Amino acid sequence: MTLPPPALIAPLRAAALALPEVVEATHFHDAPSFLLRRACFALWQPDAGEKDGGRAIMRLDRGLQMIRFEARPEVFAPARVATVHWSYVRLSATEPGEIETLVREAWASLAPLYLRRQAGLA
């Protein structure tokens, strides 16, 4: 199992932990995951066949997923997590500032309205 390179995971971690009530936990094989009230919205998938050591899995807006998959397949791919459709995100291929935007979107999919307001997302 390959843990994420610190420089690659740092923007994901910083964006997630800047949001209200987020905690970092470990997921499978000690990979970092980010939770809001015990519900995961983003995690690292190690050893995903990526040359940079892995990719993130995020709970992104379902309405935008297909558009992202088609427009930027080098960054986004479908991920099935239990019965929910999530997105694989190759962090090393994202644009500057994009990781923060994606993390906020994933978090907002679980956050109640008062927390979204607190974070400036409602």
**Residue 120 falls within a domain, yes or no?**
no
**Residue 44 falls within a domain, yes or no?**
yes
| Residue 32 and residue 13 in contact, taking contact as beta carbons nearer than 8 Å | yes
CATH number of the domain encompassing residue 19: 3.90.1150.30
How far is C-alpha 21 from the chain's CA centre?
Answer: 16
**Residue 98 falls within a domain, yes or no?**
yes
**Residue 122 falls within a domain, yes or no?**
no
| Residue 77 and residue 50 in contact, taking contact as beta carbons nearer than 8 Å | no
| Residue-level pLDDT at 22 | 97
**Residue 116 phi/psi, 5° resolution?**
-60, -40
Task: Supply the range of the domain harboring residue 41.
Answer: 6-115
Which parts of the chain have pLDDT scores under 50? none
| Residue-level pLDDT at 36 | 97
User: How far is residue 71's CA from residue 73's CA, in Å, rounded to a whole number?
Assistant: 6
